[in-house]
Amino acid sequence: MRNRTKKAAMLAGVALPAMLWAGVLTHQAQAAESLTQEGNGYLALMNEMGGNPADFNIDDGKKLWTEKRGPKKASMEQCNLGLGPGVLKGAYAQLPRYFADTGKVQDLESRLITCMETLQGFTEQQAEHDAFAKESGNATPLVNMAMYVAHESDNMKIAIPQNTPEEKLAYENGKKLFFYRAGPFSFSCATCHSESDKRIKISALPNLTMTGPKGAAVSYATWPAYPNSQGVARTLEWRMLACFRQQRFPMPKMTSNAVIDLITYMGVNSNGATLHTPSFKR
Amino acid sequence: MKRTTLFVLMTAAAGVLGGCAGMNQSASTSGNPFDTESFQSILKNDFAPKGQAKLDRLVQTKQQYECSKYEYLGKPMPAEMRKKLESEAMAGIVYPKDGQYMGDWKAGLKIAQDGKGLQWSDDPSKPSGGNCLACHEMIKNDPSQGNLGPSLVDYGKLRGNSEAILKYTWGRIYDSAAYNACSWMPSFGAHKILTEQQMKDVMALLMDPKSPVNAN
């Protein structure tokens, strides 16, 4: 893993300047492109070229999936992510969703933790351990498996269900939290993410209140991702944490309703869009 | 905001956070959409204090609550409430005691570029930044400036430095809600994000003819 990370870093070291140079040419060629889009132009180019360092995380996640781990020495192969035990294809495209066995609406990480507990015998604490890696550190087994499972839905359409009362409540509470202003800065998610064509510094801000291809999907459909600023693969759970930090809120707990409900709100607003994961991000 | 007013608001809001009996799951009877058992449970159980960001930050002020409510409902705030919030914010503005509005624009520029302050990851012993550039264009031909707020290029050049303009600009920085009830701009003075001296420095950045905002 450590060697791979180094290898990825070396690859990026060679490829990045070349891509940035190419990015300048692209910008000149597309003079009409708005400033809002321009800031993210190099990311679009990187995504087009591929070779995402998170591909290594997907490989690791794939290995972890069949490896016998935990006190029960069992693999994750029989994990039910909503489409039946062992069905990975398309499962992430329909998360978060309600699970009758836990009685909860669960997102990807939350459900992976359930499987690590029930199939492999890990405690919740062990399963969640170091969920968010340090910048430029190594992603945890949980994140690597999340990258793998999500990638199994690459190029598939997002179809997050809103069938049960629990799923509808998750959406509604996510929406409430989205608009909830608080803290010394009086920020809510809506401060930055409720209008179109807005930027913070040079970074385009997605309008997460909007459905359709130019709305929430601009962001939602490209997670999990490899944010260049982080130097490590990241999932949506981490992104919620990073936003709340900037909102000057206290820290949301991993796999809490606060995080899952917000992801449900964004996800349902992205229904119909095609997933592209992993992607490069700022 | 006066300390007593803040205390009353926080006590009232703490009551809301505590929750009331008989609330149903998704809808509330009080007209407060956040006053449901399941949403209150999110505020109560799903956040952890970290660094300087403690749980009391989840308690809304009256302005935060009223603005959030209408934004969530997707309805315009009634004009009466709007005026009420604005006049309350206006009454809370503290103008410089020495009558001097202008500090040093060079220090102001640093404050405008500094995005740190009051996050759980920030050192609480260091002064906060204003991060004006994150949302406002202030310097011509610098692409790394946001557009959440209006452009402030040539701010002083276009408006002059009359007493009325100085007072208005100070008020906007101190508590933007005084002029627009649900402004997205943080209340830098009212919420003690910036010190009086820091706000003076930002004033100078906006008004001084030699600052990069106006020297175009």
Q: Is A9 domain-assigned?
A: no
pLDDT band at A134 (very low <50, low <70, confident <90, very high): confident
Q: How many domains does chain A have?
A: 1
Task: Identify the pLDDT of residue A46.
Answer: 86
Residues in A 179-238 with any Cβ partner in B closer than 8 A? 179-188, 190-192, 194-195, 197-202, 205
Q: Is A20 domain-assigned?
A: no
A28-65 pLDDT, tens per residue?
334 334 555 555 788 888 888 888 999 999 999 999 99
A166-183 pLDDT, tens per residue?
999 999 999 999 999 999
| Closest Cβ opposite residue B26 in set A169, A177, A188 | A169
Burial B138-148 (b: 16+ CB within 10 A, else e): bbeeeeebbbb
Q: Is A155 domain-assigned?
A: yes
Which chain A residue's Cα is nearest to B48? A251
Q: Is A36 an 8 Å CB contact of chain B?
A: yes
Q: Which domain holds residue A191?
A: 42-280
Task: Identify the pLDDT of residue B27.
Answer: 57
Task: Identify the pLDDT of residue B57.
Answer: 98
pLDDT band at A12 (very low <50, low <70, confident <90, very high): very low
| Closest Cβ opposite residue B118 in set A172, A173, A184 | A184
Q: Are A117 and A37 in contact (CB under 8 A)?
A: no
In which residue ranges of chain B is pLDDT below 70?
1-29
CATH of the domain at A230: 1.10.760.10
Q: Is A29 domain-assigned?
A: no
Which chain A residue's Cα is nearest to B113? A201
Q: Is A14 domain-assigned?
A: no
| Closest Cβ opposite residue A248 in set B118, B133, B134 | B118
Q: Is A6 domain-assigned?
A: no
Distance from CA of B158 to the nearest CA of A (A): 24
Which chain B residue's Cα is nearest to A35? B143
The ipTM value here is 0.89
Q: Is A26 domain-assigned?
A: no
Task: Identify the pLDDT of residue A124.
Answer: 86
Is A243 a residue of the active site? yes
